[in-house]
Amino acid sequence: MRKSLLVALAAATALGCLPAIAEDLITSDRVGPSDAPKKMVFRMTGDGPSSTDPTWAAGYTKLYTDFINNHPGWQLELQMMTGDISQEQARMLEQAKAGHAPDCAAVDSFVLPLFKQAGVLKSLSPYFTKEEIDQLFPFVRDGITGKDGEIYAWWWSTDLRVLYRNKEIVPNAPETWADTKAAALQSVEAGMEGMLFNGSRYEGTAFDWLGNFWGQGGKLVDDAGKPVFADADNRDKFVKAVDYYRDLVESGAAPRRVATIGSYDDLNAAAAASTTALFVGGNWQYRQLENSMDPEEFAKWTFSMLPGITADQRSTGTGGWTVAAFSSDPEKVEMCATLAREIYMGPANALQEQLPTRADLYDKYDVFKSEANQTFAKALKVGQARPGVLIYPEISNQIQIMMGKVLTGAAATDAAVDDAYKAALDAYARL
């Protein structure tokens, strides 16, 4: 009797401890045992176990658990970035220059040139094969490669901008700016607030809109990295693209409140509340809409390539996230590369349906064979990344300021464009 009691007690204790052990392996700021001899600090975005999407959080929890089990003796200290990515990246750059950067971190692809220029990143070339690097899309490979031919980050996901629409109200995909205006006005007649897009002081404002400029063949910078977006060759294209948005607002095809929208969540909210039938958003929002809407409601939504001034002059902005190493410890640099490879290069793409940067991964994972992802992949062919030059953040800043003035009617398009161009040139001269 006594023996069986002891056995029962031991079993109960063991069972009670199991969840505790499982919980202990992943906390909000740590992966792996707290007493592990080796530790790597990883600063990350929401693409991890703390994702706000429960499905993704569960998926990442499993990926990270498997990862740490495969690498005994290691602990990952997780540092979460806030939503203000520009500020987070600037702070991290400052910390890296002072020698206080995390060992490994998520670096937004559009600021990667700044980190490369500052010389704070460690080469990841030894940890990826030539075949793996060659599989990367050319704009991705160029983006991560330094002047010395080494790769300084692993760009694991890319994204693009598309035009979402409610098929019940806008049955056909608008292909031109004129089609878009007509469709938006039609949605206003149906009681909607018109077409929505980011238009406030926010990086997305510039980036989502740039496809309209690039589609006409416009160039932001020349080969030396100098702003040329409003020089003799580009000014007309730039003004036309700005006037497209201006006309949407002035005609009532878009509400003036677009000048206050600075988050893709605002666009999701409007779609979920059925107050809009047309908006410019990112490919990742497709899954977000599915997760936030009833199936019948989600079935009404689809997307198409961003329209152009003509149907054959179309483009879209492509961005994405990289993983880069800052540590001076080669073992941690290798661990960082391993993390990028085992969690982010493929598994995370499949989990979040974030578009991979390697052509072969589209065939490897079934999720990328869906009609939606095939359409995204097709649109990537006209995709264009932001120029990897130091002046880009200031060009973007000036576009955001210009857009605010134009959309609210505070300035004429020509004057606003000229002001933005002059400010960008002045900033370039100071670099």
Q: Are 164 and 302 in contact (CB under 8 A)?
A: yes
Report the b/e string of 210-241 with b at 16+ CB within 10 A. bbbbbbbebbbbeeebebbbbeeebbebbbbb
Residue 273 binds to another protein (criterion: CB under 8 A) = yes
Please choose, from the candidates 219, 169, 227, 240, the residue with its C-alpha nearest in 3D space to the C-alpha of residue 398: 227
- Distance between CA 207 and CA 200 in Å, rounded? 12
Query: Based on CB atoms, which residue is closest to another protein, 83 or 217?
Result: 83
* Site for another protein contains 114 (CB under 8 A): yes
Select the span of 138-146, 252-260, 297-305, 324-332 touching another protein (CB under 8 A).
252-260
The pair of three-digit structure tokens given for residue 89, joined into one six-digit string: 């990246």
Written as six digits, the tokens of 264 are 């893709």
Return the range that interacts with another protein (CB under 8 A); candidates 99-107, 180-188, 256-264, 369-377.
Answer: 256-264
372 binds another protein (CB under 8 A): no
Q: Does 86 bind another protein (CB under 8 A)?
A: yes
Comparing CB distances to another protein, the nearer of 182 and 390 is 390
**Taking the alpha carbons of 109, 423, 120, 219 in that order, is the dihedral positive or negative?**
positive
Indicate the helix (H) or strand (E) that contains 237. Answer: helix 235-250
Binders in 139-198 for another protein, by CB under 8 A: 193
Closest distance of CB 90 from another protein, Å: 4
Does the protein bind another protein through residue 206 (CB under 8 A)? Answer: no
- Smallest gap from Cβ 260 to another protein, in A, equals 4
Per-residue tokens: 411: 């300035």
Q: Site for another protein (CB under 8 A): which residue of 141, 201, 219, 235?
A: 201
> Side-chain half-sphere of 273: how many Cα atoms within 13 Å?
11
Q: Which of 202, 244, 326, 392 binds another protein (CB under 8 A)?
A: 202
CB 326 within 8 A of CB 120: yes
Q: Which is nearer to another protein, 331 or 426 (CB)?
A: 426
Asked whether 123 and 150 are in contact (CB, 8 A), the reply is yes
109 belongs to the binding site for another protein (CB under 8 A): no
The correct pick among 10, 118, 190, 311 for binding another protein (CB under 8 A) is 118
- DSSP class of residue 253 equals S
CB atoms within 10 A of CB 394: 19
93 in contact with another protein (CB under 8 A): yes
Q: Name the residues that contact another protein, by CB under 8 A.
A: 84, 86-87, 90-91, 93-94, 97, 114, 117-119, 193, 199-202, 255-260, 262, 266, 269-270, 273, 275, 390, 393-394, 397, 400-402, 404-405, 407-408, 410-411, 419, 422-423, 426-427, 430-431
